[in-house]
Structure 1
């Protein structure tokens, strides 16, 4: 683990019914506070306009590629309000969180109550609660790209970027919320086990903390060169306003440098860099030097929120949503 990293559980295995993700690791981190958010305090629904599927912010065009890059693939989520995703491009991961291996309590569905286009150029993943027990009765959404060819060739660079508004909750009413934008190695789909096949977490936040974590998972679990199931990561990085507005989250895998690097960005600013020399060359090659597929999900509960105080609880609001404006993959040729 790199100096200054916060030990944290963060594994998200793709296989349905046997997906292993986070194992609880003890943490002690001071709470961050948010101001200026208008969210209901009672267990119920997040305050929203009358049309809860209409996002207030206008969608942005998919940005032109950075200098030297070309756009490989993108989606700006245009479509009719309330419609589902194009299953030629995306696939739904469904099933109970209890089968994921991380203590999550939601059920992931393909319902347009939980996963839908808002008609304004956004994909929405929405967590909904029913019943009186905050520890049960949650539904939400998780989707991944059908395409698993996003990667950097030898000598090249790949960049994955998305504009996202995290669930508009606070540390007071957002306990248990766990939004994520991440990717898994293509070899996982062809039989290589996790974490050998690699996982790069581009954005994770928990419990409405207005922060971001970036992490690489690799090697073997438990332990190994990536200290699984914690991985090697940035630790908690402050993300002011990320609960109430759109921000860009990106990662670059750079195979043009020696040593190779993975770089994490928030609003275009590099906040964490990982060199290939931090693990042995075989581990890095198996985890990083291949294509990936992209995933979004909005989990509830589990080991990672539990490490920051737990949840959901009686104050946790239903209806928090992760709004995604666009996703793009850019490549720089060798």
Structure 2
């Protein structure tokens, strides 16, 4: 998966009740478009787990995300690398046309193209940046998402993602990848594939093979990623002799990284800080979709107006 040498912040935040800001416990330390049906609620935690954070996106149609989220705007963080460090071309906005609830329990992030050919889209991130597995515990990041329903040439440049960045990135913006990045779900160019990636250590090279990272991918089970909702999950497991990171789609594990695969210093740097914040976004163009396509994206054939639809986001914790 091609990556630029700068921080990747371009992916860098059911008809149901809202669950947000609950106390962390057990495995977590404090520190286009037809209406798409949603599920009933953020799924309740399984036995032994605790819900530490959740948003089921039940806002009125046209409203923006709750105050639990920061809406990023422009082409970069102030003082950060241009084009969010990835080469993506869109301008992020808080315009309801790009970012809003649909009134049916979903959040939509919709890329659009204006009359002069410029692209807009949206990106949000949690205010909280303390999501971290406790020593001896497990943290689970999860979201139920339908990727933009567009494929082929019409999808060139689409780059939806659900991911997490290390808290020390805020206010610095030049310390990637050492602070760590967990890509729970990435998809490019409308392909029926989910990518899960760890970024860490130094770039280029290092024990995380930057700028590509340590990644795995697979097709979405059952219906293609673009035609139905799928549940994307990442686990940080500190319960064993060695820590492990795991990636799942619809409950099926397809990728893992163990502590032994990364240099001790790099692992310490990405796990010893206060925690991580979560992000949702749809970028247009950039190193990843360009690299997969073999040329610059988006193109004149790329169709605007296809949203990433997010049913819920949740953080769970187990053990301590």
For normalisation by structure 1, the TM-score amounts to 0.82
Instruction: Tell me how far 1:73 sits from its aligned partner.
Output: 0.9
CA contact (8 A) 2:158 2:283 kept: yes
What does residue 143 of structure 2 align with? 162
The equivalences for 1:75-154 within 5 A come to 75-86=55-66, 88-96=67-75, 99-131=83-115, 136-154=117-135
* DSSP 3-state at the match of 2:170: helix
User: What residue number does 2:316 align with?
Assistant: 330
Residue among 204, 207, 213 paired with 1:222: 204
Q: Which residue of 2 aligns with 1:64?
A: 44
Query: 8 Å contact 1:172–1:315 — kept in the other structure?
Result: yes
CA distance in 2, matches of 1:292, 1:306: 28
Mark the CA change 1:113 to 1:12 in structure 2 (over 3 Å): closer, same or farther: farther
For structure 1, which runs of at least 5 residues remain unmatched after alignment?
1-6, 23-45, 50-54
Alpha-carbon contact 1:10-1:231 (below 8 Å) kept = no
Partner residue of 2:302?
316
Specify which of 230, 254, 257 is matched with residue 247 of structure 1.
230
Structure 1 stretch displaced more, 162-171 or 180-189: 180-189
Shift of 1:20: 8.5
Q: Deviations over 1:102-148 (max 9, x none)?
A: 2211100111110101111111100001226xxx4100000000011
Equivalent positions of 1:281-300 (< 5 A) are 281-290=264-273, 291-300=275-284
Distance 2:168 2:122 in 1: 24
Rounded to whole Å, the distance in 2 between the matches of 1:82 and 1:168 is: 20
Q: CA RMSD in A?
A: 2.1
State how far apart, in whole Å, the 1-side matches of 2:45 and 2:4 are. 30
Pair 10,315 (structure 1): closer, same or farther in 2 beyond 3 Å: same
Contact 1:60 1:325 (C-alpha < 8 Å) held by counterparts = no
Q: Tell whether the 8 Å contact from 2:57 to 2:105 is kept in structure 1 after alignment.
A: yes
SS at structure 2 position matched to 1:215: strand
Q: Is it true that 1:8 corresponds to 2:2 in the alignment? A: yes
Q: 1:126 to 1:99 in 2, by over 3 A?
A: same
- Which structure 2 segments of 5+ residues have no match? 13-31, 77-81
Cα drift, residue 11 of structure 1: 7.3
1:64 to partner: Cα distance: 1.5
TM-score relative to the length of structure 2 = 0.85
Tell me the SS of whatever aligns to 2:204. coil
What's the offset of the Cα at 1:300? 0.3
CA distance, structure 2, for counterparts of residue 297 and residue 122 of structure 1: 14
Q: Does 1:175 align with 2:153?
A: no
Show structure 1 runs of 4+ deviating over 4 A. Answer: 19-22
Is the contact made by 2:11 and 2:282 (CA closer than 8 Å) also made in structure 1? no
Distance in 1 separating the partners of 2:161 and 2:267 = 23
